[in-house]
Amino acid sequence: AQTVTQSQPEMSVQEAETVTLSCTYDTSESDYYLFWYKQPPSRQMILVIRQEAYKQQNATENRFSVNFQKAAKSFSLKISDSQLGDAAMYFCAYRSVTGTASKLTFGTGTRLQVTL
């Protein structure tokens, strides 16, 4: 079974600065998807960024980028030019591509605080 580990329960960043959230995972599969989801106090999970394991190029979405290290099974999220609206819980998630079962396996989350 796959596992996802987020070792940083809380992180803090000043507005306009850069912060990196860590995620490691364990799997025996060679192809899979990885995601970062944002969950604000409203509880709705919002997709931030995704990475297909077969792609060597790191995904980028505006101020959000990832550092995907497949051999190390590491998938960190970098937020540049942090904004107050970035404050939320961030979850790293794994999804298999084999078979019809396509559940997301989530980490325990990192609470990001953004200060002035």
Partner 1 sequence: EAGVAQSPRYKIIEKRQSVAFWCNPISGHATLYWYQQILGQGPKLLIQFQNNGVVDDSQLPKDRFSAERLKGVDSTLKIQPAKLEDSAVYLCASSPPWGFSTYEQYFGPGTRLTVT
* Residues within the interface to partner 1 (CB under 8 A): 4, 33, 42-47, 50, 52, 91, 93, 95, 97, 100-109
Q: Name which of 80 and 113 has its Cβ closer to partner 1.
A: 113
Q: How far is the CB of 16 from partner 1 (least distance, A)?
A: 29
Q: Which is nearer to partner 1, 16 or 97 (CB)?
A: 97
* CB-CB contact of 98 with 29 (8 Å): yes
Contact assessment for residue 109 and residue 7, using Cβ atoms and an 8 Å cutoff: no
Unique residue bearing structure tokens 């709705």: 44
